[in-house]
Amino acid sequence: MPAIGWNTDLYDNNHGFVARYGEDLINWLRPEEGERILDLGCGTGSLTSQISQYGARVTGIDASEDMITKAKAGYPKIDFFTQDARFFSLPGNFDAVFSNATLHWIQEQDLVLQSVYKSLRPGGRFVLEMGGQGNIKHIEDAVKQALIETGSQEQPAESWFFPSPATYSALLEKHGFTVRSLAFFDRKTPLEGEEGMQNWINMFGSFFFRNTHQVTREAVIRRAAEQLRPVYYQNGTWYADYVRLRIIAVKN
C-alpha cells in the first residue's frame, strides 16, 4: 500500500469529482433507515454524510489521519476513525460496507476482503467502485516516459491495483462472497482548471516521485502533461482516462 501524503484541500477543491461520481454508487447501496453501514476509505466524509441522510447509522474509516481530521471537523455528528482497510476492526457487525475509489490503492486485497467479510453480518452487502483494468493507463505511461526523458533515476513504486471483472469476482468468491451485480465501464473524467492534469498527477501519483527532487518532479509532470495534451485536453478541459469497476457482493 503506497504511502500517500494527502493534501485534503487540493483533494476537495480540485478533485471533488471523486465524491460527485461516488453519489451514483449510493444508488447501488440503497441505504435504509436504521441500517448500520461502514464507509471504507471515507476520505473527507462527503459521501459518508450523504449516506447518513437516509437515516442509516454510518461510520467512516480511512488510513489517512489528515482525511479523518477534516471529516470530523466537517461532520461532527458522524463517527470517523483512522483505520487501515487491510486490518480494520470495529465492534459489532454492519449491514453493508460501502467503498468508493479506495480499493485500487491496495495491493493486499486478500487482507482487505478478510476484514470486510468479518465486519459484515450474514447476508450483508459489499458495495464498491474502484479503478478497473486499463484505468488511467495513458497517464501512468506518460509519467513513466517523462521520467526517462528527464533523466530521472526514479524507479516507480508498485502503485495501483486495477483488476479485471473476472479477477475481482474470483477474489470475492474466494473470500466467501457472491457477486450480485457488476458493471465495468469507461468514464472519461473531466479535470478542473488549466492545470488539471498536473494537479491530478501531483495529487494521485506522488509514489512516482519518492526520491525525486522537487525541481525534477515538476519537470516530469510538465513533460507528462505535454505528452497527454493532444488527446486528453479538449476544448479547454483536461480529461483522465478512467475505467471503473462497480460491484455489489453479498456475504454468504
Helices 196-204 and 137-149, axial angle in degrees (round to 10): 90
Confidence of residue 15 (pLDDT cuts 50, 70, 90): very low
pLDDT score at 153: 72
Tens of pLDDT, residues 61-106: 999 999 999 999 999 999 999 999 999 999 999 999 999 999 999 9
Q: Are 71 and 62 in contact (CB under 8 A)?
A: yes
Look at residue 230 in the predicted model and tell me its pLDDT.
97
Give pTM, 2 decimals: 0.90
> How would DSSP label each residue in 8-28?
HHHHHHH-THHHHHHHHHHHH
d(CA 23, CA 150): 39
Over residues 147-171, the mean pLDDT reads: 86
pLDDT at position 225 over 90: yes
Query: Helix crossing, 137-149 with 214-232: angle to 10°?
Result: 130
Q: What domains sit in the chain, N to C, each tagged with a CATH number?
A: 8-135+159-192+242-251 (3.40.50.150)
Give residue 2's pLDDT: 47
The backbone region for 45, taken as left when phi is positive above 0, alpha when psi lies in -120 to 50, beta otherwise, is: left
pLDDT at 245 over 90: yes
